[in-house]
Structure 1
Amino acid sequence: MAGSLNPKQDEESRNDQMVRFHSFFQGGTSSLVSTLIVFPFYKTVFRQQIHNAVVSEAVKQLCSEGHVKLYRGVVSPLLMKILGGTLLFGLQDTILHQLSPSSQNFISPSALPALAGFGAGVVEAVVCTPFERVQSLLQNGKNDRHLPTHKSIVVRLNAQRLSSGYYRGLLPITARNALGSFIYFGLKEPLRVTVEGLGLSPLVSSFISGMLGSMVISLPLYPLSVVVANMQKQVGGEDKGVIASWKKLWESRQRSVSLLYRGGSLVVLRSCISWGVTTAIYDMQQKYSE
């Protein structure tokens, strides 16, 4: 039949589909492991962002609540990171496969992973914003009394409009995730190849490339995360937009960049560990699935 694939083409097509399926699965498992490792760092940073506290004060807050509550709220970020990692790596690989044959004539091949990452980051943001919203409410200690459980939060959010409920903060989240994914996938392979060229093992090279990429991403995009945390920390109240929320945040930090970046050091540390582990596990799984 005209237009049908020959056996070799058919096998290559099946292999391409399998690679993409593996990318979804491997992205999810990599994110699962890294999230469990860095969650205490994440919670400390979140407290700094919403309470404008130094590291010692944020740690003191968490210690006063006890070890039982240290992983309070982990279900939402765990689900979010698993889903986000699944979508991010799987969609990036899928988009990259779709772009590669038709785009090489007018787009540099080296830019394709970054462009695919941008598209995957947009989808990830749309799907994962509700999870981040629930997570933010759970991790705000001031919500313990009137919003103590996932169920109570879901009930309250269901009563809100999507824009002020589950999808509050969607715009800055989309900007942060899309730009971060663009940078991460654009730098991931060049960094890995460079580091591996120094004589380090593939696993260590992947870990270091993930760490270095996260450092480039974390600091410039950190203000967006602070805006998101403050927009999402409560239900109800004044429904401010992104610009109004930024102005309020900037005033509350006394127009000080150093106060705005409070928690930034832990963000870099957390991101380095998280993306280092995620990248190493993902690349290792990719290698063994070839």
Structure 2
Amino acid sequence: MSSKKEKPLHSLTAGAIAGAVEAFVTYPTEFVKTRSQFEGKKESPIAIIKDTLRTRGVTGLYSGCTALMVGNSLKAGVRFVSYDHFKHMLADKQGKVSAPRSLLAGLGAGMMEAVFAVTPSETIKTKLIDDAKRPDPQYRGLIHGTTQIIKQEGLSGIYRGLFPVMMRQGANSAVRFTTYTTLRQYVATRMPPGQSVPSSFTFGIGAVAGLVTVYTTMPLDVIKTRMQSLTARQHYRNSFHCAYRIFTEEGLVRFWTGTTPRLVRLMLSGGIVFTVYENIIKLIGGREQS
């Protein structure tokens, strides 16, 4: 790993911009994935897209997008700052970070982002998507939806599913950063002296990291979505009860529902986030010698 350290403010700025860009570009895949994970009739991604376009138009595919953009911007900022902090805490005297230590740094970063950004934004986003498929939606947008959720359920209403979110984000970041860091180090050692890793390589490495992340963390994502739905309190006592009911009533395969749209999103996400982040860090001169 490079001995250069990202400046915290610059890392936060680059991460926030990268997160917002990624959320907007990939949101339709997130919408389809979330819709497919709700209880009830199983719908294919194509069927969900056709139904949404027919009933609500293109804007329907962006229901809850603002919540995710705000949350993703904050999430990515917290993630990169936290990961960089933990990474340099765990680095050896030469500034190198081994794969196990990178895994630990990613796990810590994921836990931080789950508490400070992901759980509230994902809960609101999930409830807005769930509400949008009703004949007569009760939420008129991000601000109205958020105030109504807090009014009806209290502050805990936007922190539903905290445990599975922490588990998912911890696993997400641990797997993604470890895969990305390991592959990037491998590519960097094979580049000519003084030449940085090209953006095309960064995008490809990030996409591979996204692919590995999807298949290893999908069950946690399904449980998270169920726990954050509008009817969660009527069906599940907690995350473990939710997992038990899905397994016994719907089968093991149900834990991988929504894999295709999530796979598309996280492969694009990994490529977009790391590429935008690296380029903004270069643009604003955000690295200093540690």
TM over 0.5: yes
Structure 2: distance between partners of 1:130 and 1:219 = 24
Match of 1:237 in 2: 234
Match of 2:83 in 1: 92
In structure 1, give the amino acid aligned to 2:114: A
Q: How is 1:57-206 mapped onto 2 (pairs within 5 angstroms)?
A: 57-64=47-54, 65-100=56-91, 104=92, 109-110=97-98, 111-128=100-117, 129-140=119-130, 141-143=132-134, 144-150=136-142, 151-163=144-156, 165-195=157-187, 197=190, 202-206=198-202
Structure 1: distance between partners of 2:175 and 2:256 = 21
Match of 1:43 in 2: 31
Match of 1:246 in 2: 243
With structure 1 as the length reference, what TM-score do the two structures score? 0.83
In structure 2, the residue corresponding to 1:119 is in which secondary structure? helix
Retained in 2: the 8 A contact 1:223–1:260?
Answer: yes
Match of 1:34 in 2: 22
Retained in 2: the 8 A contact 1:137–1:153?
Answer: no
Q: CA deviation at 1:239?
A: 4.9
Match of 1:6 in 2: none
With structure 2 as the length reference, what TM-score do the two structures score? 0.83
Structure 2 unpaired stretches of 5+: none
Structure 2: distance between partners of 1:190 and 1:260 = 28
In structure 2, the residue corresponding to 1:234 is in which secondary structure? coil
In structure 2, the residue corresponding to 1:109 is in which secondary structure? coil
Structure 2: distance between partners of 1:251 and 1:89 = 38
Q: CA deviation at 1:193?
A: 3.6
For CA contacts below 8 A with separation 6 or more, give which structure has more relative contact order: 2
Retained in 1: the 8 A contact 2:128–2:145?
Answer: no
Structure 1 unpaired stretches of 5+: 1-14
Retained in 2: the 8 A contact 1:206–1:279?
Answer: yes
Larger Rg: 1
Q: CA deviation at 1:147?
A: 3.4
Retained in 1: the 8 A contact 2:172–2:213?
Answer: yes
